[in-house]
Chains A and B, each alone.
Chain A
Amino acid sequence: MHKLKKLFTKIAELYQTIYNRRNRYKKLIGQIVIYVLLITISYVFLFPLFSMVSLAFMSPEDIINPEIDWLPQSFYLGNFTASIKVLNAGKALFNSIWFSGLLAIAQTIVSALTGYAFARYEFRFKKILFALILVSFIVPVPVILIPRIMMIASAQDMIGTPLIGTVYPQIVMAIFGQGVNSAILILIFFNFFKMIPTVLFEAAKIDGASALDQFWHITIKMSLSTIVVVLLFSFVWNWNETYVTGLLLRNNTILLPTQLGIFDSIFTTRPPEIPGQGGEARLSEAYKMAATLLTMVPLFIIYFAAQKQFVEGIEKTGITGE
C-alpha cells in the first residue's frame, strides 16, 4: 500500500514536470514568434533607409549592372560630392541650423509661459481656452495661412521693405505662440508643470516671491530636462516643416529641406558637369538618394544623441489621460 502511494506521487511529480516543461516551451515559442514579428516589422520600417543608403553609395557602373542589388562593389562617394554641390549644402546646413534654432527658442519660451499659466492658476475662461489650444491643432494649416500671407503682404507695403522671403514673419508667429505644433509643446509643459507640488509655490509666496519669481526660480529651474525636450522637438519640427516655410521664405534663404524639395529642378537646370545627368533614371535616383541622406544626417545625429528625451517627450504630453 505504501509503495503504491509512493508510485502515485512519483507519477504525479513526473506529470507536473512534463506539464511545466511544455508550458515553458509554449512560452518560448511565443517569445520567438514575437521577436520574429518585431524584427520583420523593423526591417519594413528601415527598408527605405536601407535602399536609400545602398543606392547612394553606388557608382554609375554599379547601378547599370543588373547583378548588383544591394551591396555596391566599391564605396563610391561621387553621388555625395555632386549632391553637396547641387544642394549648396554648407550654406544650407548653416542656414537651417540657425533658422530652426531661432524658431525653437522662441517657441519654447512662449510655450513655457502659456503652459505655466494653465498648470498653476485658476482663471476665467481657462477651460475654454485650453480646449481651444487642442482644437487649434486640428485646424488645417492652409486655412489660416491665406489671411496670414495677406497680413504679411499688407505689412510689407506699410513698412516698405519686403517681408515675404525673410524669416521675420515666422519668427513673429513663433514669438506669439503660433509656430509648428505649438499645441503639443504647450501640452508637454503643462503636464510637467502640473506635477510640481503647489506647496512650493505657497512657501515662496509667503516668503514674498512675486509671480515672476515663482515662475523663474521654482518652475524653470526645476524643469530643465523638459525644456530640453521641447527645444529638441521644436527644432526638429521646424527643420522638417516645408509647407509654410516654402511659402513664406521662398528661396531667398536656402535651407536643406527646401533645397531638397527643389533638388530635381536645380539638378536639371545646372550645366552638365555631373556625370549621368539626363541619363538613365536610376542614375539620377542615386543623386536624389544621396541628397536625401545628406539632409537627414543632422537629424540622425540629434536623434541618436537624444532618443530617450524624444520618446519621453511624447509620453509627457499626457494626452492619454491620467
Chain B
Amino acid sequence: MKKQKVYKSDKDILKAIQRSNDHNLQAYMFILPWLIGFVIFTVGPFFYTMYLSFFDVQKTGLGWQTTFVGIDNYIVAFFKNLAYIPALLEFIVVEVTYVPAIIIASFILAILLNRDLKFRGGFRTIFFLPVIVLSGSVMDKLLDTGSTRLSDFSENIIFKMIMNYNMGAARALLALFENFTMVLWFTGIPIILFINGLQKINTQLYEAAKIDGATTWQILWKITVPIIKPTALIVTIFTIVQIGMYNINPVYGLIKDSMYDLAGGLGLASAYTWVYTLVVLFFVLVALFIFGSREKKTEVKLTSIQRLNFDRMREQIAQGNEEVNHA
C-alpha cells in the first residue's frame, strides 16, 4: 500500500501546494527574452568589467587584444591621472549633500501635499514636471547659463561664519544652496512615493494617538516616521542612483571620455567604473544601514480550489490533534 504523505503543519501543506502550482516551463517561456538579455548584456558585462580592469585592452585588426597588467590601471586611476580622484571626491560630496536634502525636502512636501488642499493636483503636477523634462543636456544648459541660481548666498553672514570654521563644508553647502532648484528637481518621484507611503498609514493610529494626548510633532516622530522607513529606504536608493546619472556627476564624463576612444583606454575605463561602482554600493549599504530592514513576509498564491483544499486539510489536522488529545 502506498503510504500517504502526512502533513504536519500549515507550512508543509503550503509547500506541497506551491510545488503543484509551479509552472516552470510557461514562466520561463515568458521571461526568456529578458533572461537572455540579462545574462548577456548585464550579468556578463558586470563581471567582465572587473576582469578587464586588470588588463590593457587594445583594438587590433584581429579583434580585442588584452594583456595582463596587474593593478596598473588602478595605479593610473589613483596616482597618475590627476582628474580622477578630484572627480570622485566631487561625486561623493554631491551625494552626501544632495541625497539628504532631497529626502528631507520630498518628505516635507509629501506631508504638505497629503491633506485636503485646493489645487493639490496642480502642485503635484508642478513638482512632477522635472521628471519628464529633465535630461542630461537640458540640465547641462541650465547649470551652464546659471538659470538654476536663485540668488547669491556667498555674502550671507551665516555662510561666512561657516566658511571661517571649515572651508570645505562651506563650499559644499554653498553649492547645495545655490543649486537648491536642482535639489527640488530631483524630488519629483520621491514625493509621489512618499505620498503613496503616507496614504497607506491607517488613520486610526493618528486618532488613537490624539486621544492619548499626543501632539502633532510627537505623532510625526513616533508614528509617521517609523512607518515610512521602508519607503524612505527605497527613495534613498533611488535618489543615490538617479543623481549618478546626471551631469552633476563628474565621474561619468571622465569615464565617457576614456570610453569614447575605442583604440585603447577601455582597461583604464573599467578600473574607473569599478571604483565608482564600489562607491555607489557603499552609499546603498549606508542607506540600508540607516533605514534598517523590515520583517520578512511569506506570501503564497493559491487558486480558489487549492484554497478550499487548504482549509479542508487544516481541518483534518485540527481533528487529528483533537483525537490525539482525547486519547
Binding site for B on A (CB under 8 A): 34-35, 37-38, 41-42, 44-48, 51-52, 55, 110, 113-114, 116-118, 120-124, 126, 129, 132, 136-151, 153-154, 157, 164, 173, 175-178, 186, 198-199, 202, 211, 215, 236, 239-243, 246-247, 257-258, 260-261, 263, 285, 288-289, 291-292, 295-296, 299-300, 302-303, 307, 310-311, 314-315, 319-322
Cα–Cα, bound, A317→B230 (Å)? 15
Contact call A260/B138, Cβ cutoff below 8 A: yes
Nearest first, the 6 A-B pairs at minimum CB distance are A176-B37, A240-B135, A147-B45, A117-B30, A177-B34, A123-B27
Interface string of B147-174 (1 = CB under 8 A from A): 1101000000000000000000000000
22 A-B pairs in the complex with CB atoms less than 8 angstroms apart: A34-B117, A41-B127, A42-B127, A44-B180, A47-B150, A48-B147, A116-B30, A121-B22, A126-B27, A138-B237, A143-B277, A150-B64, A150-B266, A157-B63, A164-B262, A198-B301, A211-B26, A242-B137, A243-B136, A261-B140, A311-B124, A315-B192
- A interface SS class: helix
Cα–Cα, bound, A147→B255 (Å)? 13
Binding site for A on B (CB under 8 A): 18, 21-24, 26-31, 33-38, 40-46, 48-49, 52, 57, 59, 63-64, 109, 112-113, 115, 117, 123-138, 140-142, 144-145, 147-148, 150, 180-181, 184-185, 189, 192-193, 196-197, 200, 230-231, 234, 237, 241, 244-245, 252, 255-256, 259-260, 262, 266, 269-270, 272-274, 276-277, 280-281, 284, 294, 301, 303-305
Q: Give min CB distance, A159 to chain B, whole Å.
A: 13
Which residue of A is nearest B194, CB measured? A320
Which residue of A is nearest B180, CB measured? A44
Looking at the complex, which one of B31, B135, B197 makes contact with A114 (CB distance below 8 Å)? B31
Cα–Cα, bound, A211→B31 (Å)? 13
Contact call B34/A113, Cβ cutoff below 8 A: yes
Q: Which chain B residues border A126 with CB–CB below 8 Å?
A: 27
Cα–Cα, bound, A178→B128 (Å)? 25
Q: Which chain A residues border B123 with CB–CB below 8 Å?
A: 38, 42
Contact call A121/B145, Cβ cutoff below 8 A: no
Contact call A303/B49, Cβ cutoff below 8 A: no
Q: Give min CB distance, A177 to chain B, whole Å.
A: 4
Instruction: Using A139-B277, A148-B41, A314-B193 as known contacts, say yes or no to A153 and B136 having CB atoms under 8 A apart.
Output: no
Cα–Cα, bound, A204→B126 (Å)? 44
Most buried by B among A146, A154, A186, A295: A146
Contact call B141/A296, Cβ cutoff below 8 A: no
Q: Which chain B residues border A124 with CB–CB below 8 Å?
A: 22, 24
Q: Which chain A residues border B260 with CB–CB below 8 Å?
A: 247
Contact call A320/B200, Cβ cutoff below 8 A: yes
Q: Which chain B residues border A46 with CB–CB below 8 Å?
A: 126, 129
Looking at the complex, which one of A45, A173, A314 makes contact with B185 (CB distance below 8 Å)? A45
Q: Give min CB distance, A230 to chain B, whole Å.
A: 14
Contact call B49/A147, Cβ cutoff below 8 A: yes
Cα–Cα, bound, A208→B199 (Å)? 41
Q: Which chain B residues border A51 with CB–CB below 8 Å?
A: 147
Which residue of A is nearest B235, CB measured? A320
Instruction: Using A240-B136, A243-B252 as known contacts, say yes or no to A288 and B141 having CB atoms under 8 A apart.
Output: yes
Q: Which chain B residues border A142 with CB–CB below 8 Å?
A: 252, 255-256, 259, 269, 272-273, 276
Contact call A147/B52, Cβ cutoff below 8 A: yes
Q: Give min CB distance, B11 to chain A, whole Å.
A: 16
Q: Which chain A residues border B43 with CB–CB below 8 Å?
A: 132
Looking at the complex, which one of A34, A136, A289 makes contact with B147 (CB distance below 8 Å)? A289
Contact call A114/B259, Cβ cutoff below 8 A: no
Beyond the given pairs A139-B46, A145-B45, A176-B36, 4 more chain A to chain B contacts, judged by CB atoms under 8 angstroms and listed by A's residue number, are A139-B42, A140-B244, A147-B45, A243-B245
Q: Which chain B residues border A154 with CB–CB below 8 Å?
A: 63-64
Q: Which chain A residues border B303 with CB–CB below 8 Å?
A: 198-199, 202
Instruction: Using A141-B245, A243-B136, A314-B192 as known contacts, say yes or no to A42 and B126 having CB atoms under 8 A apart.
Output: yes
Instruction: Using A38-B112, A140-B244, A285-B145 as known contacts, say yes or no to A320 and B31 having CB atoms under 8 A apart.
Output: no
Contact call B33/A45, Cβ cutoff below 8 A: no
Cα–Cα, bound, A121→B126 (Å)? 39
Looking at the complex, which one of A143, A144, A177 makes contact with B33 (CB distance below 8 Å)? A177
Q: Which chain A residues border B256 with CB–CB below 8 Å?
A: 142, 243, 246-247
Q: Give min CB distance, B210 to chain A, whole Å.
A: 14
Which residue of A is nearest B62, CB measured? A157
Contact call A149/B128, Cβ cutoff below 8 A: no
Contact call A257/B136, Cβ cutoff below 8 A: yes
Q: Which chain B residues border A44 with CB–CB below 8 Å?
A: 150, 180-181, 184
Q: Which chain B residues border A132 with CB–CB below 8 Å?
A: 38, 43
Q: Which chain A residues border B197 with CB–CB below 8 Å?
A: 320-321
Looking at the complex, which one of A143, A246, A319 makes contact with B193 (CB distance below 8 Å)? A319
Instruction: Using A45-B127, A121-B27, A177-B38 as known contacts, say yes or no to A202 and B133 having CB atoms under 8 A apart.
Output: no
Q: Give min CB distance, B186 to chain A, whole Å.
A: 11
Cα–Cα, bound, A125→B252 (Å)? 34
Q: Which chain A residues border B189 with CB–CB below 8 Å?
A: 314
Looking at the complex, which one of A38, A123, A202, A215 makes contact with B28 (CB distance below 8 Å)? A123
Cα–Cα, bound, A239→B49 (Å)? 27
Instruction: Using A177-B37, A319-B234 as known contacts, say yes or no to A37 and B138 having CB atoms under 8 A apart.
Output: no
Q: Which chain A residues border B270 with CB–CB below 8 Å?
A: 146
Cα–Cα, bound, A292→B138 (Å)? 6
Instruction: Using A46-B126, A314-B192 as known contacts, say yes or no to A321 and B33 having CB atoms under 8 A apart.
Output: no
Instruction: Using A148-B45, A257-B135 as known contacts, say yes or no to A122 and B277 having CB atoms under 8 A apart.
Output: no
Looking at the complex, which one of A41, A151, A295, A315 makes contact with B184 (CB distance below 8 Å)? A41
Instruction: Using A51-B147, A147-B52, A257-B137 as known contacts, say yes or no to A136 and B22 having CB atoms under 8 A apart.
Output: no
